[in-house]
Amino acid sequence: MQHPTPSDDWNALVDAVWAAADELGDDAVIQRIDALAAERGEDDARAAFEMVGARDSAGLESEAAPLYRTALARGLDEVHRPQAVIQLASTLRNLGEVEDSIRMLEAERAEHPESPLDDAAAAFLALALVTRGDAERAASVALSALAPHLQLYTRSVRAYAAELAL
């Protein structure tokens, strides 16, 4: 079921909880986000995304992984969908499901190469590759993502990154 886009007021309330997260503490963040999510309804993708983010932020990764899948299945918008993919992949890596993490991030990057979060996906892919023990490929991914942002040596760094991937 498709819900309307959350209102600016709802977004502002969610943003305020996250802005105060350090002062509030994990339990209060979860409670406040859950209360805001309840306003959106049980089957709302964005509400699920915010709820899972609160749990993941609190270090409750084993609770978070299935909730990320639920949020994604409900149909997140193109702002929050890539965030959920990256966050789920990171959570899976932390839970020891490294191959799933790598598959998700590689698919995300292949399917959405122009995403504004492609560099973030690359960073988390590099972390997952290091966890798997593939440091050279991880360096290649990270350097390939970094190269376009360099003022000089972009071509050289791309070439070296490609060599590492071999």
Residue 157 lies in a domain: no
pLDDT-derived band at 94, boundaries 50, 70, 90: very high
Residue 72 lies in a domain: yes
Report how many domains make up the chain. 1
More confident residue, 13 or 8: 13
**What is the tens place of the pLDDT at every residue in 101-144?**
999 999 999 999 999 999 999 999 999 999 999 999 999 999 99
Residue 93 lies in a domain: yes
Residue 82 lies in a domain: yes
Residue 126 lies in a domain: no
**What is the domain-level CATH number for residue 58?**
1.25.40.10
Residue 70 lies in a domain: yes
Residue 141 lies in a domain: no
Cα separation values, 57 from 7, 90, 138, 142, 162, Å: 24, 12, 25, 24, 34
Q: What per-residue confidence (pLDDT) applies to 3?
A: 47
Residue 74 lies in a domain: yes
The domain of 25 spans 8-109
Which residue, among 154, 95, 93, has the nearest Cα to 121 in the 3D structure? Answer: 93
